[in-house]
Structure 1
Amino acid sequence: MALVFGGLWWLVRGWGGMSMVLGLLLLGVAWPFRPRAARLPKTDQVLHRGDAPELYALVDEEARVVGTRSVDEIRVDAQVNASVMTHGVRGRRPLTLGLPLWEILTPQQRIALLGHELAHYSNGDTRQGLVLSTAYRSLTTWHYYFIPIAKPSAVEMLVNLLYISPRLFLHGALTLLDHLTLRAAQRAEYLADREAARAASTEAAVGLMDRLLITDSAAVALRREAGQTALAGPRGARTVEAKPEEIWERLRAHMASIPEYEYERQRRVGVRRGHSVDATHPPTHLRRTCLLAGPPAPAAVATDDERQQRINAELAGARVAVARRIVRDGFDG
């Protein structure tokens, strides 16, 4: 705002003179630093309500259970992850489902995953709000523009010296904002886990935590799929084009082959690694322990084989698109 009003003041004050140049310069500098809403991430496919009525019905049901309104859009990508965000002035709610994560979960664990993500809208996650998220992005943009110039010339060395003060100020503001909201972000994860257990049952939420412990193994399996197809050349690409579903069958078989002691090993590794106080997400083993500490909750939302088959049919096109993208471009999730 200071840049905008300063630019307008110099523009009007110096109308017709050289002071207009300073005004235009300030307005030009203000433009890249303006607060902006987050951009939607790239995705492989967008499912609208007409495309996936059963999946939307499941999400709507879970939204009622966790006490929030449903999402406006479901997006599917190739990440071993899932996320929600608030987009635009009207506060549209896109839900992004990483198909590799979705494929390795049981039906009730999928319900727990949806419940966890939707709960971020209802549990007071301050970092998801329009004001704080916009402030964080704006400060990050400012900080980026004041990064010192690498291998500077004599003039650029002077510029780097001028950058020191604003860069330190911005770094301090970012650090302060981060620490003031850090505990809220960690608390939001625990509350979202609690809502996931209420929606899908404690057993399903704990099972989801266990799956999250070994998502690296799913990523390795998909990279291997992409690498083997690349080595096979055009023949391998044609095989995937003809039967893209086989990638997901092999991924599920790989995850099913992981023995129970590997889950226990990952939990022990998490305990030995300790807890980073500046992490936005609490360690998975602590989230799992927190779920098991309370009384077991029954499932408020359930699914049956017929419903699951209808949802699978709605995601068939996305399965094909994501499988082909992984083979064509490689896996980077």
Structure 2
Amino acid sequence: MTINTAGNECPRCGQATVSIREAVPWCAACEWNLDTFDRAGRTPEFGWAWIDRGTYRLAARLTRQQYAALVDRPLESSGLGLAGVVTAVASILLTVGVAALAATGVWLLFAFAFPNIAVVAGVAMIGLAVALRPRFGRLAPDVDVLSREQAPGLHALVDEVAAAVGAPLPHVVAVDDSFNAYTTSVGLRRRRVLVLGLPLWGALDGQARVALLGHELGHFVNGDVRRLLVTQPALTMLGNAADLFRPGHASAGGGIIEMIGDALGRMLSWTMSRLLFGAHLLLVVTALRDSQRAEYLADEMAARAAGTDGATRMLDTLLHGDAVLQVVRQSCRDGAGPATWRAGVGRSLTAAADRLPLLRQLSIRERTSLFASHPPQGLRHRMLTTRVRQDPRARLTETRAEQIDAELARHYEQVGRQLAWAGD
């Protein structure tokens, strides 16, 4: 990756502007032009340039405002923010509405003597209520659950990190083949689940692993709106309703009356589907403002567990994700295990040291979106490094890391075979 000087001086501070990856130039010193909409460097969200530009500008303003509001404050969970309250209220109203729909359907079944057209309406209402019922999630079928007997070292580390950040233990610890890690709560009882993607876990060094655990476990105590029982209906029900009303394929054959009726029905279904989907997007965008606040809090807990250096190392690994995954994939093709992955990733990050500050800045432009669940890595890194440095409360030595990797050997072998044959 080449760092290019754009040949122009910054009109604000006089420093030379820079660019990488053919991005629109900006000033690395004062960040002039960094928030400029760069259509070539972004995946279209709506497909119309003027809408994408407008939503980006709104997202950039909200993202900067949120960072400014949090940077000088203690990063502690204070319950639901305004966005979370709006989401929770919407969830309650939607749940009451679906319950009323079901109750009305049941009433229509028995309110009139059978047979009656009201029975058809009642059955339809009950069916619609069942289709729109809140979903509370379930354990993904492609994860491998690890018991304490199977992975005692990993569970011991999870216990240690949970104690360091004041988080409850997960009910389920599992691994999968993704370059990712996540926590979630599933079922009506909200069973806590921690899933570690082995390509990412194996690529991280000891303190970055501790930081990853601290971040993910932190979601159990940081008020993340995406993981609360009371907010789930708002995040799922309207989207399900939009899918339900989406028109299918046009019917073939029939006379002119049937064709007109089919066209009118499809138009009505499309309109309802778009209105419901628009309302779903509005609620999701509202909830994601609160979700981004929760990510900053989770990063603070990562630093509390692993120290500031471990947390920023984790963020840089994620920022450099494409190159890291390529290192891991090549190591798998060579038949090497996670110790080799870590060594290769360490060399890759060292080689990229001079570019990382610019990549962090560029992420502020490229990762800003109304639909982003996470703030840009550049702002997350800056949030940690502008605060008082933290020393680690939990440490993972290389010896302990190798012991944990030995517990996961069978799973690493499976993931390694998949990565070795995956396309670049």
Alignment TM-score > 0.5, same fold: yes
Q: Secondary structure, in 3 states, of the residue corresponding to 1:50?
A: coil
Deviations 1:127-156 (A, max 9, x none): 210121233112211111122435566343
2:397 corresponding residue in structure 1: 304
1:48 shift after superposition: 1.1
- Report matched runs for 1:303-322 at 5 Å: 303-322=396-415
Q: 2:233 aligns with which of 127, 134, 142?
A: 134
Give the direction of change, closer, same or farther, for the CA distance of 1:46–1:13 in structure 2 (3 Å limit): same
Report the CA distance shift for 1:108/1:250 in structure 2 as closer, same or farther (over 3 A). Answer: closer
Q: Secondary structure at the match of 1:76?
A: strand
The residue type equivalent to 1:7 in the other structure is: G
The reply to whether residue 185 of structure 1 matches residue 291 of structure 2 is yes
Would the alpha carbon gap of residues 320 and 62 (structure 1) be closer, same or farther in structure 2, given more than 3 Å must change? same
Aligned twin of 2:12: none
- Residue 345 of structure 2 is aligned to residue 255 of structure 1: yes
What does residue range 220-235 of structure 1 map to in structure 2 within 5 Å? Answer: 220=326
CA distance in 2, matches of 1:46, 1:190: 28
What code does the residue aligned with 1:266 have?
A: L
Give the superposed CA RMSD: 2.6
Question: Is the 2:225–2:291 contact (alpha carbons within 8 Å) kept by the matching residues of 1?
Answer: yes
| Cα distance in 2 for residues equivalent to 1:117 and 1:72 | 14
Evaluate the alpha carbon distance shift between residue 291 and residue 323 of structure 1 in structure 2; reply closer, same or farther with a 3 A threshold. same
The CA distance in 2 between the partners of 1:250 and 1:196, in whole Å, is 25
Q: Equivalents in 2 of 1:331, 1:98: separation in Å?
A: 18
Instruction: Name the SS for the 1:71 alignment partner.
Output: coil
Tell me which residue corresponds to 1:12: 110
Please tell me whether residue 207 in structure 1 is matched to residue 305 in structure 2: no
| Partner Cα distance (1:324, 1:170) in 2 | 43
Deviation at 1:103, TM superposition (A): 1.1
Shift in Å at residue 31 of structure 1?
Answer: 2.2
- The whole-number CA distance in structure 2 between the counterparts of 1:215 and 1:26 is 48
| Residue 102 in structure 1 maps to residue 201 in structure 2 | yes
Q: 1:283 aligns with which of 356, 371, 376?
A: 376
State the Cα distance separating 1:38 from its structure 2 match: 1.2
SS of 1:195 mapped into structure 2: helix
Aligned length: 315
Counterpart pick for 1:294 among 381, 384, 387: 387
Identity of aligned residues (%): 36
CA contact (8 A) 2:330 2:420 kept: no
Query: How far does residue 69 in structure 1 lie from its aligned partner after superposition?
Result: 0.8
Deviation of 1:46 after TM superposition, in Å, equals 1.3
Separation (CA, whole Å) in 2 of partners of 1:166 and 1:186: 30
* Structure 1 residue aligned with 2:15: none
Q: Is the 8 A contact 2:170 2:192 kept in 1?
A: yes
Relative to structure 1, is the Cα distance of residues 101 and 11 closer, same or farther in structure 2, using a 3 angstrom cutoff? same
Question: Which residue in 2 is equivalent to 1:50?
Answer: 149
| Deviates most, 289-298 or 151-160 | 151-160
AA in 1 matched with 2:217: L
Post-superposition CA distance 1:202-248 (Å, at most 9, x none): 0010111110111122344566789x7xxxxxxxxxxx9xx5xx264
Q: Is 1:32 equivalent to 2:124 in the alignment?
A: no
1:147 is aligned to 2:243: no
Matched, 1:85 2:184: yes
1:156-208 per-residue CA deviation (whole Å, 9 max, x = no partner) reads 32222222553344234323322432321111111111110010000010111
CA distance in 2, matches of 1:310, 1:248: 12
| Distance in 1, Cα, partners of 2:359 & 2:250 | 43
1:163 aligns to what? Answer: 269
Q: Please, which moves more after superposition, 295-304 or 273-282?
A: 273-282
Query: More helix per residue: 1 or 2?
Result: 1
1:2 maps onto 2:95 in alignment: no
Contact 2:367–2:375 (Cα < 8 Å) also in 1: no
Moved more, 12-21 or 285-294: 12-21
Could you tell me which runs of 5 or more consecutive residues in structure 2 were left unpaired when the two chains were aligned. 1-98, 253-258
The structure-2 alpha-carbon separation of the partners of 1:29 and 1:113, relative to structure 1 and needing over 3 Å to count, comes to same
- How far apart are residue 6 of structure 1 and its match? 2.3
Q: 1:247 to 1:299 in 2, by over 3 A?
A: closer
Separation of aligned partners in 2, 1:331 and 1:145:
35
> Does the residue aligned with 1:86 lie in a helix, a strand or coil?
strand
Which of 1 and 2 has higher RCO (CA within 8 Å, sep 6+)?
1
Show structure 1 runs of 5+ residues with no match.
229-239
CA–CA separation in structure 2 for the residues paired with 1:253 and 1:34: 49
| TM-score relative to the length of structure 2 | 0.67
